[in-house]
């Protein structure tokens, strides 16, 4: 469970993930030539970034599962959310299953930012 305290951030402007966001990040502004440092608190409170926490669990392929991931549980694609003090599957029905019971059988197939079409109803 040591991976439980890993974070990643979705950059809404650059449309990309910044992995291993722990303490903060720095970004270089090519226009001004300055480097800007953002602490973890700055990232959490920024409208530019959406921070997603690692569940500390791995899928059947030994890949870490993060909040915002889309997983295939063998029957349907569901997204991973944090709700009511635990990480859960959210299948869109309003009923959540605790991820702890199913994670060894599921497979991370995408995430809500890069692959939202995976959650669209057929």
Quick one: how far is CA 46 from the chain centroid? 16
The pLDDT score that the predictor gives to residue 105 is 83
Is 99 in contact with 55 (CB distance < 8 Å)? Answer: yes
Domain 2-119 indexed as CATH 2.30.30.290:
yes
The structure's pTM equals: 0.78
Neighbours of 33 (CB within 10 A): 7
- Contact 98/84 with Cβ under 8 angstroms? no
What's the confidence (pLDDT) of residue 119? 92
Distance of alpha carbon 110 from alpha carbon 104, whole angstroms:
17
Domain ranges in the chain are 2-119
Q: What is the pLDDT of residue 3?
A: 72
pLDDT digits (tens, 9 = 90+) for 23-77: 656 666 666 777 666 677 777 778 989 999 998 889 999 999 999 999 998 888 9
Does 112 or 73 have the greater pLDDT score?
112
């Amino acid at each position: 469970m040591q991976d439980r305290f890993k974070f990643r951030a979705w950059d809404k402007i650059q449309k990309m993930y910044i992995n291993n966001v722990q303490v903060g990040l720095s970004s270089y502004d090519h226009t001004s030539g300055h480097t800007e440092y953002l602490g973890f608190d700055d990232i959490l409170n920024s409208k530019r970034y959406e921070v997603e926490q690692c569940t500390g669990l791995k899928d059947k392929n030994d890949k870490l599962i993060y909040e915002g991931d889309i997983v295939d549980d063998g029957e349907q694609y569901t997204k991973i959310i944090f709700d009511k003090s635990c990480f859960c599957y959210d299948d869109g029905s309003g009923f959540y299953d605790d991820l702890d019971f199913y994670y060894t059988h599921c497979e991370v197939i995408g995430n809500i930012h890069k692959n939202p079409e995976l959650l669209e109803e057929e």
